[in-house]
Amino acid sequence: MHYSTKLVSIFVVVSFLMIFESAAEEISKWSPVAPYPVQEVYYPGTEKLQPNEIRIVACGTGMPQPRLKQAGSCYLIELGNGDKFIFDMGKGSTERLSALGIPTDQMNKVFISHLHFDHAGDFPSFWLARGVNAARQPLYLWGPGGGQNPDWGIKGWADKIKQAWAWDVATRESSGDPRSTQLTVTEIDWKKVNHLFYDENGVKIYSIPTIHVDQSVGYILEWEGLKLAYSGDTAPNKWFLEHAADADLAIHEMMLPPDMWLDKYSMSYEAAVMSGTQGHTTPRAFGKIMEITQPRMAVASHMQNDFDTAPILEQEIRRHYQGPLSLARDFMVWNITKDKLTTRMAVANPDSYPPPAQVPAQPPTGGDNAYQWDPFSFTGLEKRTSAVTNEVVQEFNDKHGTDVEPVLSSIPFKSE
């Protein structure tokens, strides 16, 4: 018996050494100067998407309550055919999109699930910043039509944004490429179920109603045999259960349990129940939804994902669902093919500048439609500081062999 134990011990040691030696041989093949063969994080702009691959980047996973680490809801979807789509654009998400270093013109299709500011609040910023971020193509926007009031639909909302920012738009179109502020809006009938409203370049996008408030929808994207489901805000609903079944990635909203609303937000008992369970989805119900729909990867979003909340949220989910799960955080990334699904975090650039424009510029708006300065503004220009500005412009022209005229700072000297 003692002899047998010795043999087993020797066998275990030898086996371990063989495994270690094999691993060491593998390690020795890795170059000391080439990139590490497997990246456990995503560095934006360094990886080519394969023709049959989808990459999804969480650019906002939070709630209406502002917080530094989580923007409002926003997901960037990149396809191997070059198409890019943005699902929702909650407050704070524009900075995260910009930190990925993607040319602005490539991000020109935005789909809003509903018009609460934590899902749509950053759209004006994204739209108006396009000109200064080298955009030279129009922007396209989809969203639900009005419910009780037609003016509350995506078109009425966009029209009011244009009216509110008319002065800003006029000044930008008169000084830069006017295409950057052009906006085409398409309304979706929010009551239609599994409604195919986008069918281009092999990509199909469907809308389904949700139970949040009127005129709220979710989206389902299908391409190359892959399927992405996005719930928007909703209580558990039959439409998602039916049409999001077997998705490769199912992103569904999930709220904190009612007790956490008492603790974190000092709400009344009634407010905690209403906020955490009505018109939204509890973690336990999220687990049931995923148990029924069986996605390759379930993604819980739209909740405060913290060190003390995450364990409780997962515990509640696991009462029903035992499959693959991501508790979404800003800059979480999923790469999907038919054979493989990976989850990582992106290393975004906090000091990003916009990539160069993709097409030649068009001249600013001119003639009667151009923005007209009030001559009073010019009376504030004076020679001493204008001369310094002109000096800078002259140095620039000498360096680059150009002849750019300092239009404003030359005015004080034209009266001489």
DSSP calls for 250-283 = EEEE-PPPHHHHHHHH---HHHHHHHHHSSS--H
Write the burial class of residue 252 (CB in 10 Å: 0-12 exposed, 13-18 middle, 19+ buried). buried
27 pLDDT band, cuts 50/70/90, is: low
Q: Where in the chain is the domain with CATH 3.60.15.10?
A: 41-346
Is the pLDDT at 375 greater than 60? The verdict is: yes
Angle (deg, nearest 10), helices 166-173 and 154-164: 70
Whether residue 99 contacts residue 50, with contact meaning beta carbons closer than 8 Å, is answered with no
Average pLDDT of the residues in 103-124: 97
- What is the rounded distance in angstroms from the CA atom of residue 90 to the CA atom of residue 71? 7
Biggest distance spanned by C-alpha atoms of the chain: 112
Say yes or no: domain 41-346 is CATH 3.60.15.10: yes
**The pLDDT value given to residue 255:** 96
12 pLDDT band, cuts 50/70/90, is: very low
Query: What is the 3-state composition of the chain as percent helix, strand, coil, each rounded to the nearest 5?
Result: 35, 20, 45
Higher-confidence residue of 240 and 131: namely 240
**The pLDDT value given to residue 185:** 98
Which amino acid is present at 98?
S
**The pLDDT value given to residue 6:** 53
User: Would you list the DSSP string of 38-107?
Assistant: S-SEE-TTS-PPPTT-EEEEEEE---SS--SS-PSSEEEEEETTS-EEEE---TTHHHHHHTTT--GGG-
User: Across the beta sheet with 249-253, what order do the strands follow?
Assistant: 195-200, 203-209, 217-223, 226-230, 249-253, 297-301, 325-327
Over the range 23-57, which residues count as b (16 or more CB within 10 Å of their CB) and which as e?
Answer: eeeeeeeeeeeeeeeeeeebebeeeeeeebbbbbb
> What single-letter DSSP state applies at residue 406?
-
Tokens describing residue 266: 């000092």
Residue 389: its H or E element: helix 383-400
414 pLDDT band, cuts 50/70/90, is: confident
User: Across the beta sheet with 41-42, what order do the strands follow?
Assistant: 41-42, 341-346, 332-336, 54-60, 74-79, 84-87, 109-111, 139-144, 183-188
pLDDT digits (tens, 9 = 90+) for 318-373: 999 999 999 999 999 999 999 999 999 999 999 999 999 988 999 888 877 788 89
- What is the rounded distance in angstroms from the CA atom of residue 106 to the CA atom of residue 102? 7
13 pLDDT band, cuts 50/70/90, is: very low
Bin 2: left if φ > 0, else alpha if -120 < ψ < 50, else beta: alpha
pLDDT digits (tens, 9 = 90+) for 282-317: 999 999 999 999 999 999 999 999 999 999 999 999
Q: Is the dihedral of CA 7, 9, 12, 13 positive or negative?
A: negative
Q: Is the dihedral of CA 341, 347, 353, 356 positive or negative?
A: negative
